[in-house]
Chains A and B, each alone.
Chain A
């Protein structure tokens, strides 16, 4: 069935108009029902959307004052969601490669302690944690940053922790090493907790590590 906006014509026989009108009313309901609750839905959700499918646009649509536009556009071969503020404001990208687009996106987030299995609560991107030596922890990722996440091992990190003794500051950092790639890898990161004299912290109460990659 195809919606026909040019019916009924003045010279059409009623029998022709009948089928044309029937087809139009049916097609309206079908097309509307692709993204919306159908016109003939008996429930209370008439007029609402089930979901919104954004067909990729070639150009940024124009926006007038007092309106905001959401649409999709191609970004390096992927359809992504964009927004354009009122009065033809500068469009900006909202999604990228399966994430909100903020410029950086998290790859690892974990709260852990010194006792296996180490992890507390929900973590992001962490397959396992090991403590090869006291006070040093190797966090292994679920995904390879370079091959799976389209990044590199030049990601950002934060490390923080505290211990069970109120005698020393807890210096939390990526493990010191001559070679960057020995501790900051595509599949893991090594972090260490030491006091100001370089002594390993043996009584770590909890630690928090996050890693972010450039989008």
Chain B
């Protein structure tokens, strides 16, 4: 059945109009939200048994648009558009002020950047886990990480390799490294400096699959070091990786 927008015509017989109108109502019923197939139509079916749900959406499937739709005053719009051949979700501000990309490669984009990975870990390379209760009162241990394998690869001293579960799409990502030294050895000048490991070759340290993270000991003023001396215990580290869309 195809919906007919131009019926009934003045010259149509009633029998034809009856067929056309019932065809339209059946077509409407299916297109709006097919009762027999939840994947057809975005809306709660017109004849849905649960009256409270009538007029509402099940989902919004956004057919890719070539251009931003245009918005008037006091309204915003969300839609999908192609970016490098992939459909992504956008929204347009009121009065067509600007269009903003909300998703990128299956992640959310915040202000033009995408969080690709993060982790909080201890000296042994184990990911810190946050305890919280679910709705049934069960205690869950939620790893404070995203896109990072657990545990990290632990090298000698305060040296770890963070391995990404899904490679980051570029090796020129932006990273954040921080550490806290839980040791109370302030008297021995155990000041930790979190950084990527020193190396003349960038991709040896920072690449799409991993990041080599170290915490070096920073000695007191006027003391020199011959190498980056690691701190041997009591550290908590934070790492984040971002890409620009």
Count of A-B contacts judged by CB separation below 8 Å: 236
Distance from B95 Cβ to chain A, minimum over Cβ atoms (Å): 9
Q: Are B78 and A81 in contact (CB under 8 A)?
A: yes
Given A40-B3, A42-B2, A51-B65, are A106 and B110 neighbors across the interface (CB < 8 Å)? yes
Q: Are B102 and A100 in contact (CB under 8 A)?
A: yes
Quick one: closest A residue to B206, CB to CB?
Answer: A206
Contact of A47 (CB < 8 Å), options: B5, B33, B79? B33
Complex Cα gap A74–B93 (Å): 12
Counting CB contacts under 8 A, is A176 at the interface?
no
Complex Cα gap A81–B92 (Å): 10
Q: Are A22 and B222 in contact (CB under 8 A)?
A: no
Q: Are B8 and A22 in contact (CB under 8 A)?
A: yes
Among A13-21, A133-141, A181-189, the stretch in contact with B: A13-21
Distance from A146 Cβ to chain B, minimum over Cβ atoms (Å): 17
Set of chain A residues within 8 Å of B176, measured between Cβ atoms: 158, 160, 208, 210
Given A167-B226, A167-B227, are A49 and B42 neighbors across the interface (CB < 8 Å)? yes
Within 8 A of B (CB), among A29-81: 29-30, 36-40, 42, 45-56, 64, 67, 72, 74, 78-81
Counting CB contacts under 8 A, is A26 at the interface?
yes
Q: Are A51 and B7 in contact (CB under 8 A)?
A: no
Complex Cα gap A64–B52 (Å): 9
Given A50-B63, A98-B98, A124-B113, are A160 and B195 neighbors across the interface (CB < 8 Å)? yes
Complex Cα gap A26–B216 (Å): 73
Q: Are A162 and B196 in contact (CB under 8 A)?
A: yes
Complex Cα gap A95–B22 (Å): 43
Distance from B141 Cβ to chain A, minimum over Cβ atoms (Å): 25
Contact of A121 (CB < 8 Å), options: B6, B34, B224, B244? B244
Q: Are B195 and A53 in contact (CB under 8 A)?
A: no
Q: Are B244 and A18 in contact (CB under 8 A)?
A: no
Quick one: closest A residue to B53, CB to CB?
Answer: A67
Q: Are A208 and B174 in contact (CB under 8 A)?
A: yes
Complex Cα gap A172–B175 (Å): 13
Q: Are B65 and A102 in contact (CB under 8 A)?
A: no
Complex Cα gap A102–B102 (Å): 13
Distance from B143 Cβ to chain A, minimum over Cβ atoms (Å): 21
Among B54-62, B121-129, B148-156, the stretch in contact with A: B54-62
Counting CB contacts under 8 A, is B236 at the interface?
no
Candidate in A21, A55, A99, A208 with the most chain B CB atoms within 10 angstroms: A208
6 additional A-B pairs beyond A18-B8, A51-B69, A105-B111, beta carbons within 8 Å, are A15-B10, A47-B31, A49-B62, A99-B111, A123-B244, A167-B228
Which residues of B are in contact with A by a Cβ distance under 8 Å?
Answer: 2-10, 12, 14, 17, 21, 24, 27-28, 30-34, 40-43, 52-53, 56, 60-63, 65, 69, 71, 74-79, 91, 93-94, 97-98, 100, 102, 108-113, 170-178, 193-202, 205-206, 216-219, 221-228, 242-245
